[in-house]
Amino acid sequence: MSGISPDPSVTAAASKGTSSAILASLKSNDNTTTAPAAGGSKSMNESDFLLLFTTQLKNQDPTKPTDNTAFVAQLAQFSQLEATTNMSSSLSGLVSAMQGNGLMSASSLIGQSVSAPGIPAVLSGSNPVPASISLPNGASRVQINIYDALNTLVHSEALGSQPPGTLAYAWDGKTNDGRTAPDGNYQMKVVALAGGVSTTPAVTLAAQVASVSIDPNSKALTLTLKGGTTVPMSSVTSVNN
Residues 51 and 138 in one domain: no
- The predicted-structure confidence for 164-173, as pLDDT tens digits, reads as follows 999 999 999 9
Residues 137 and 219 in one domain: yes
Give the least confident one: 74-83, 155-164, 179-188, 202-211.
74-83
Residues 24 and 131 in one domain: no
Q: How confident is the model at residue 87 (pLDDT cuts 50, 70, 90)?
A: confident
CA 87, 90, 96, 98 torsion-angle sign:
negative
Range of the domain at 9: 1-32+45-57+68-83
**Contact assessment for residue 230 and residue 223, using Cβ atoms and an 8 Å cutoff:** yes
Q: Phi and psi dihedrals of 16, rounded to 5? A: -80, -15
**DSSP-derived 3-state class of residue 68:** helix
Residues 78 and 189 in one domain: no
What is the distance between the alpha carbons of residues 186 and 203, in angstroms, rounded to a whole number?
13
Residues 75 and 122 in one domain: no
**Contact assessment for residue 110 and residue 211, using Cβ atoms and an 8 Å cutoff:** yes
Number of domains in the chain: 2
Residues 50 and 146 in one domain: no
**Contact assessment for residue 218 and residue 153, using Cβ atoms and an 8 Å cutoff:** no
Residues 72 and 147 in one domain: no
- We report the CATH number of the domain holding residue 131 as 2.60.40.4070
Share of the chain above pLDDT 90, in %: 24
Residues 120 and 24 in one domain: no
- What pLDDT is stored for residue 1 in this prediction? 41
**Contact assessment for residue 212 and residue 222, using Cβ atoms and an 8 Å cutoff:** yes
- The predicted-structure confidence for 29-72, as pLDDT tens digits, reads as follows 554 444 444 444 555 556 776 777 777 777 777 777 666 566 66
Instruction: Say if 134 falls within a structural domain.
Output: yes
Residues 202 and 163 in one domain: yes
What is the distance between the alpha carbons of residues 206 and 184, in angstroms, rounded to a whole number?
14
How far, CA to CA in Å, does 126 sit from each of 131, 143, 179, 205?
Answer: 16, 23, 12, 17
Residues 162 and 207 in one domain: yes
How high does pLDDT run on average in the chain? 75
Write down the pTM of the prediction.
0.52
Q: How confident is the model at residue 2 (pLDDT cuts 50, 70, 90)?
A: very low
Residues 115 and 197 in one domain: yes
What is the distance between the alpha carbons of residues 78 and 26, in angstroms, rounded to a whole number?
18
